[in-house]
Amino acid sequence: MNSTKSIAKVAPTRLEKKLESLVRKALYAHKIGESSPLAVALSGGKDSLTMLYMLKKIAGRGFKDLKIYAIYVDGEFSCGPSIAKSHIQAFCKEMDTPLITLESTKTLSNLECYSCSRERRSLIFNKAKELGCKEIAFGHHKDDTLETLLLNLLHKGEFASQLPKVPMHDYGITIVRPLYYVLEKEILEFAKQKGFFRLTCQCPVGAKSKRRDVKEILKNLIEHFPNAKVNLFHALKEYGSDKSLRK
């Protein structure tokens, strides 16, 4: 694992250059990270760690030199890799990033995806506002966006998905997604290269979620239509609903 102090001295791999280019594209195209400080929702999984790594690498190099805070929600169950807090603390120390830890109230008896997600987001949003952050970055990648598209289409009949930048008017804070153009397989490979890939989600509820089902549906689509991801993402950008942007 490399600290930000040594990033410039280590020759980046071709994959690292590609990921940095895609993150820069998201930051530039969607005006992400224009105000400092910036909060990062850190689960300890490959996505959020890769996001923090890239943001720290890019900050001050063609973009605003951001003060970044990492916010981690701990608890009995985690919507993420369920890794030791010490690993997250060590990573943030390497990245020279302050880590704020919050506590979830969820136990196995009251564990449920929707309420768990709302509680975690409320905790993160309120802490981000307290820190003076106007934006909070989540590690949702391109595959997450496509899976959400299928979920909305099949469950609600809406052609809509996650957007790269969404103002949360009730909280007075904006969600941003720096990994919007990055594929999950690219993040997985990069995390393995850097040595911070751990387990996948260990949540007993998440393992049976509909998101897992649409992940398999998307995988099957690609077997028959190899360009399915490219075409779905293009259609989403061209015709997707922006209802989430409205007050």
Mean pLDDT by 10 residues, the chain (247 residues): 48 93 97 93 92 96 93 72 76 94 70 67 92 96 96 93 92 95 96 77 60 91 96 94 77
pLDDT of residue 140: 96
Asked whether the whole model's pTM tops 0.85, one would answer yes
Q: Return the structure tokens found at 178.
A: 């720096």
d(CA 44, CA 116): 17
User: How wide is the angle at C-alpha 98 spanned by C-alphas 94 and 99, nearest 5°?
Assistant: 95
d(CA 218, CA 169): 32
| pLDDT at residue 8, rounded to an integer | 43
What are the beta bridge partners of residue 73? 102
At 168, is the secondary structure helix, strand, or coil?
A: strand
pLDDT value at residue 20:
97
SS3 for 99?
A: strand
Kind plus residue range of the DSSP H or E element containing 232: helix 228-239
